[in-house]
Amino acid sequence: MKEKETCYKMHKASSIPCKKQNCRYNINLPACQNCVLIAADQKHTLQDVGDMYGVTRMRICQIEKRALDKLGPLAEHFK
């Protein structure tokens, strides 16, 4: 890895899953190179997110609604 190249950039460019389990951005999701930053860069359906975390799409919808309610007026920017 080059001096100024980050792990995130390297894995995103090469599509090779990260094996650093002690990384704070690690998520056990090979489809997103095991990186939560790469996963956040991609578009996912509620079903996709539910599958990632082992819950239903309805539960993800409930969590999303609660988060948007907590954001209040700022939530308009995320809809």
Neighbour count for residue 38 (Cβ, 10 Å): 20
Measured in whole angstroms, the distance separating CA 19 from the mean position of its chain's CA atoms is 16
Domain ranges of the chain: 1-42, 43-79
Please answer whether residues 11 and 18 qualify as being in contact, where contact means their C-beta atoms are separated by less than 8 angstroms. yes
pTM score of the predicted model: 0.60
Convert the pLDDT of each residue in 62-77 to its tens digit.
999 999 899 888 877 7
Q: What phi and psi, each to the nearest 5 degrees, are found at residue 35?
A: -125, 125
Beta-carbon contacts of residue 57 (< 8 Å; ≥ 6 apart): 45, 46, 47, 49, 50
- Give the integer Cα–Cα distance in Å for 55 and 29: 15
Convert the pLDDT of each residue in 26-45 to its tens digit.
887 777 788 888 888 888 89
